[in-house]
Amino acid sequence: MNKALAIQIPGLDLKNPIIPASGTFGFGYEFERFYPIDELGSIMLKGTTLEPRFGNPLPRIAEGPSGLLNAIGLQNPGVEAVMNEELEKLRPLFHSKVIANIAGSCLEDYVEVAKRISTHDMVGALEMNISCPNVKAGGIQFGTDPQMAAKLTAAVKEVSQVPVYVKLSPNVTDICAMAKAVEAAGADGITMINTLIGMRFDLRTGKPIIANKTGGWSGPAIYPVALRMIYQVYEAVKIPIIGMGGVSSAEDVIEMMYAGASAVAVGSANLVDPYACKRIIDTLPEVMARYGIQSLEEIIGRSHRV
Amino acid sequence: MRKYQDWMTVLSNRQIAKDVYEMKLEGEGAGKISAPGQFVNIKIASLESQPYLRRPMSVCEYDDHHLTIIYKVVGKGTQLLTEKKPGDQLDMLLGLGNGFPLPDIKEALLVGGGVGVPPLYELGKQLKARGVKITSVLGFNSQCDVFYETQFKALGEVYVATMDGSYQDQGTAVDVIRKRGLSYDRYFACGPEKMLDALVLFDDKNGYLSFEARMGCGFGACMGCSCKVKTKPYKRICVEGPVLEASEVIVHE
């Protein structure tokens, strides 16, 4: 193990800071056909709800300049199947702790999913998805009101057996107010940013391309927005941040850690290049050497100190 | 060596019908394809540039070192693909999806619509090599859209249908099957959703249908192409598809 890459954050002892982001990596095991997924720092599981969900009608995907618009709508087999089937398929392939992404349409749903999945021995932390732009009830409404977000965080914290990270939406007026609210409510960390809400239209018909009309905009196009928000939130809170938003290379990872991220999730890049996370992990040491970085631990928030 | 990804070299790239191009490529990656009806996913521009997503394409013909794709220009991505020259390299994911089965039958009916025609060509070749009698129905909008009629004729009888009647039979592929009373043990189809739905309504027991969908990844990660079926809560067109059995297809409303 390369100690220069290791990072410790609540609930997670990461051998490297690279984590595939929720919704771009299924439940992990499907990527074993591309490379040994045991090389990953952790895995953020596909958003999990109490009951199975099929998600939104098709088309669910569109694209734009350097980015991807999606409205999957939290398709998942429900918490019981995730714990008993999906995680069992992952167990022989991945030996570090995973991050379970939990979602719901009301406070009670989040609490129930958290209560159950946080007891699973493979789960090291929860990521509370209060920022999914693609479901009508719940999701983003919890992510745009600081008081609602705080109430939900406190309720999930009360039942969770593992540290709780809250995933913040960029679709707010003041992301620092959201970050402070969930920190005060007991969150152990923040993951950010979720997708930006976007649209595309069909030139012939004038109709939205995505059946859900709006979708979540991600990919390299949102990277500078993610950096800016992580930079701001790093100054507003003391809890660690797992950064994400358009990361595609080892250089992007280092820049995001300079902004204040303790670890970095890779999302859309996995869909375009299924080897993206492995490529980033493999190239991190040489890119660190190029910039004279001895260990990643020391560069977290570097841009705030120079 | 990567199991699904490889660089393929363009051998030729030529127009064969209105807005339709045939591209031949060479490379070891062709050996990753294991069944007719499997597809490839092509990165047309560099990783972070436009178009950002790969473009899934059916495979018209393949052997261990070569493959042929046929694509229609429908937007910026496919327009860029027309500019590729012999010697250019393309980053491709290969051998994706389930592909068509090769059942033990005597008579096969191939039903293709527009750019749904290509994957049926490799399938027809493989079925013919197994001694299956091939009949093909190829549907297009108009005479200017017709391609590969000669190639399919080498496999067996071919009927072409055009929506505007400008070439051979007027109407849809299903109209031709009805009118001509074509017989088969199994039909194999690829084409627009409306054509596939019409086929399922015509015969929902003896067919295999290849579907297309907007895909985020093409290998099962994003759930962008999930489709409800009768046999399971859903199938991903990119992994458990693109070929579905007629008996499991839920016809669109």
> Across residues A19-27, what is the average pLDDT?
97
> Chain B within 8 Å of A173 (Cβ-Cβ)?
no
Instruction: In whole angstroms, give the CA distance from residue A36 to residue A94.
Output: 9
Whole-complex ipTM: 0.92
Write down the pLDDT at residue A241: 98
Given a cut of 70, is residue A151 above it in pLDDT? yes
> Which backbone phi and psi does B158 adopt, to 5 degrees?
-130, 130
For chain B positions 230-249, those within 8 Å of chain A (CB to CB) are 233-234
Please check if A238 is assigned to a binding site: no
Beta bridge partners of A196: A217
Is the Cβ–Cβ distance between B79 and B92 less than 8 Å? no
Write down the pLDDT at residue A191: 98
Residues of A whose CB is below 8 A from B222: 23-24, 61, 70, 72, 271
Instruction: In whole angstroms, give the CA distance from residue B204 to residue B200.
Output: 5
What residue has token string 């020259």? B85
Domain boundaries, chain B: 5-96, 107-248
Write down the pLDDT at residue B46: 81
Fold identical between B5-96 and B107-248? no
Please check if A195 is assigned to a binding site: yes
Given a cut of 90, is residue A9 above it in pLDDT? yes
Instruction: In whole angstroms, give the CA distance from residue A125 to residue A297.
Output: 20
Burial track A147-178 (b if 16+ CB lie within 10 A, e otherwise): eebbebbebbbebbebbbbbbbbbbbeebbeb
> Chain A within 8 Å of B51 (Cβ-Cβ)?
yes
- Between the alpha carbon of residue A164 and those of residues A111, A161, A239, B202, the distances in Å are 12, 9, 11, 54
Write down the pLDDT at residue A134: 63
> Chain A within 8 Å of B253 (Cβ-Cβ)?
no
Question: What are A222-270's pLDDT values in tens digits?
Answer: 999 999 999 999 999 999 999 999 999 999 999 999 999 999 999 999 9
> Across residues A154-175, what is the average pLDDT?
97
**pLDDT over 90 for what percent of chain A?**
92
Chain A residue with Cα closest to B235? A54
CATH architecture of the domain formed by B5-96: Beta Barrel (2.40)
Please name which of A82, A103, A102, A104 lies closest in space to residue A29, comparing C-alpha atoms: A82
Residue type, A153: T
Please name which of A124, A156, A143 lies closest in space to residue A41, comparing C-alpha atoms: A124
- Of the partner residues A30, A58, A77, the one whose CB lies closest to the CB of residue B220: A30
Given a cut of 60, is residue A138 above it in pLDDT? no
Write down the pLDDT at residue A146: 93
Instruction: In whole angstroms, give the CA distance from residue B206 to residue B106.
Output: 13
Tell me whether the omega of the peptide bond preceding residue B118 falls within 30 degrees of 0, making it cis: no
The token pair at A299 is 């560069």
- SS3 call for A90: helix
CATH of domain B107-248: 3.40.50.80
CA atoms within 13 A on the CB side of B130: 15
Is the Cβ–Cβ distance between A98 and A122 less than 8 Å? yes
pTM: 0.94
Higher-confidence residue of A221 and A136: namely A221
Count contacts between A and B (CB, < 8 Å): 104
Question: Is there a contact between A274 and B227 if contact means CB atoms under 8 Å apart?
Answer: no
Active site residue A132: yes
Hey, what domains does chain A have and what are their CATH numbers?
3-300 (3.20.20.70)
Please name which of A176, A26, A8, A18 lies closest in space to residue A101, comparing C-alpha atoms: A26
Please check if A167 is assigned to a binding site: yes
Please name which of A90, A92, A113 lies closest in space to residue A26, comparing C-alpha atoms: A90
Q: Show the DSSP H helices in A29-139 as ranges.
A: 79-81, 87-90, 107-117
* Range in A119-123, A129-133, A201-205, B117-121 the model is least confident about: A129-133
Name the pairing type of β-strands A196-198 and A215-218.
Answer: antiparallel
**pLDDT over 70 for what percent of chain A?**
97
- The DSSP letter of residue A76 is B
Tell me whether the omega of the peptide bond preceding residue A57 falls within 30 degrees of 0, making it cis: no
Given a cut of 80, is residue A140 above it in pLDDT? no
Question: What are A62-119's pLDDT values in tens digits?
Answer: 999 999 999 999 999 999 999 999 999 999 999 999 999 999 988 999 999 999 999 9
Instruction: In whole angstroms, give the CA distance from residue A115 to residue A297.
Output: 32
Which parts of chain B register pLDDT below 70? 1
Write down the pLDDT at residue A139: 58
